[in-house]
Amino acid sequence: MKKLKYAEAINEALREEMGRFPELFILGQDVRRPAGADGAFKVTAGLPQIFSERIVNTILHESTIAGLGMGIALRGGRAVVEIQFADFVTDAVKMIRDYMAGLHYRNRISLPVVVRMPSGAIGSAGPFHSICPESLFLDTPGLIILAPATPYDAKGLLKTAVRSGSPVIFLEWKRLYRLNPEDYPKELGFEIPEEDYVIPIGKARIVRAGSDLTIISYGNMLFESLKACDALKEKGIDAELIDLRSLMPFDREMIFESVKKTHRVIIAHEAKKIGGIGAVIAQMISEELFDELDAPPVVVGAPFTPIPHHPNLEKAYLPNADDVVRAAMTKIFCEKTAAQHIVSPLRETAAAIPRAESADADVRVKMVPFTPVQKIVAQKMAENWKRPHIHDDIDADVLKIWDEYREKKEGFERAFGTKLTLTHYFAYAVVKVLMQNEFWKFRSSVEENPLTHVVKDFVNLSFAVDIPTTVEGLSHHELMAPVVKDAHKMKFAELAFAINNLAWKCRNKKILPEELRDGNFTITNVGIFETLRGNPILLDGQSASLAIGRIRSGEDFVANVILTLAFDHRPINGAESGLFKQALKEYLENWNVDIFRD
């Protein structure tokens, strides 16, 4: 195994394939120069000394260069032609699109020609030496377009291209030619084997796995996208990064599998946003995976303007990691909620049955689809009800906290700048009881195969948030369950602030996926809707949850509440449930917490 620079890997691939195929020619401007300086970027360096008669300098006419390569292929040979800068290929577009690709596709003949194009911005080279040319060829049947971002992929894909019987556009990124192997991120720093290898055309690669967002990229922009994944991770967003490697054909299967998992996608490339492959992939996803999406596909690319010369303007022109992060935060995770992380994703797999329309259909009846949030909640409820739920009640006298709440509400809110509600009292009591050693099962979960207790010595407290909204003009309420992480470490005021803050973020569509994950106990205060008794459901990774009914009065009591505990009957039995409820009841009835200090 060895490490090579990007240009060195391409050079090695050319040398090995020239040795493999005696009929292979390399053509282009300055592909042979004084020893060691062959090629504008020295990619063919040293090859003329080995294969002198088959390394051919051409005139300064790109259409002729492409035509020579096609002629060699039509006479039974193979050709690798170099367009010195990708920008110059415009003079050869007709030759490549109509003749080269056209002959191969229409007549079904072998036409092994690789068109190498040094592509992308390199630093103040301006509009004539900096373009990404892929959009010129994406809609051309008969052409393969490859865009490797690493030395390993560059060598393997170039060897595959030379051996194929199809015309291939091979994009090389000028900024990567001299990048030291040690400077590649660990996810991209592949060593190159000594033995021969090839990489299949049309196969992408997952650079980093994730569950919240799919980022699809290639070439120079792959490095920026990887930086964006790191930045998003700090915001609690677990992004999956896919390196396309092959632009046409692209790996539809991998893209679809990833988007079905994350339900959100950004396609990022250095090429212009308008007319790029990002728009092609976004359209395909929108058409074929619409029901899987929780946010519209987003394309990050260069603006619709020529590439500027000035380094400051060029820096502003080129898309970067900040652009990807900004797109994720403003166009996906704020404008659209991360609702599937209320629980782990479970999407519909069965095809919908078409609804027959009647000519005399009752206009008073209309079909209103579930919102994405409602759909996920409904699906997961159906799935989680398969677990053996038990519901058990206990009646608690909460007069003491009721009186304190009314007495201290104004002073608390003035002191801490956050709203005080009765939910905060119940949440604090639940956390304290959960952390008692005898109730470890109530904060833990069950591993299914084999059945095992997953013991958690912490409390990540989920709580239900009601989100009023409208759907097609009809009033509607959605449900989210944000999670207060490490609630057991918080003082009363800290817990109250955390609950209020997360509830605000849910209602204002600012919640992040990380803030909707990893809860190990849930409370829901159905009493705010005047409901006497709740019927809570267990969420993923939880063995118990609690519903709080409305505070009521009667002949023999002033402020009582029904607490309904739902629990998984496999790890928790009735006796343990009874002890937990009794402990919670006693904590509430004997409330002895200084909410200003504790």
DSSP 194: S
Q: Tell me how far apart the 2 most distant CA atoms of the chain are, in Å.
A: 107
Ranges assigned E (strand) in 282-417: 298-302, 389-397
| DSSP code for 2 | B
- The burial class, CB within 10 Å (0-12 / 13-18 / 19+), for 264 is buried
Find out whether 384 and 538 touch, Cβ atoms under 8 Å. yes
The distance of Cα 560 from the centroid of its chain, to the nearest Å, equals 47
Q: Which of 61, 104, 129, 310 is catalytic?
A: 129
Coil, strand or helix: which one is 316? helix
Q: Bridge partners of 392?
A: 565
Give the containing element (helix H, strand E) for 330.
Answer: none
Query: Helix, strand or coil for residue 271?
Result: strand
DSSP 95: I
Burial (CB count <10 Å: 0-12, 13-18, 19+), residue 576: middle
Q: Distance between CA atoms of 384 and 454, rounded to whole angstroms?
A: 18
CA distance 21 to 25: 9
Residue 354 gets the label, from left (phi > 0), alpha (psi -120 to 50) or beta, of beta
129 annotated active-site: yes
The residues carrying an active-site annotation are 129
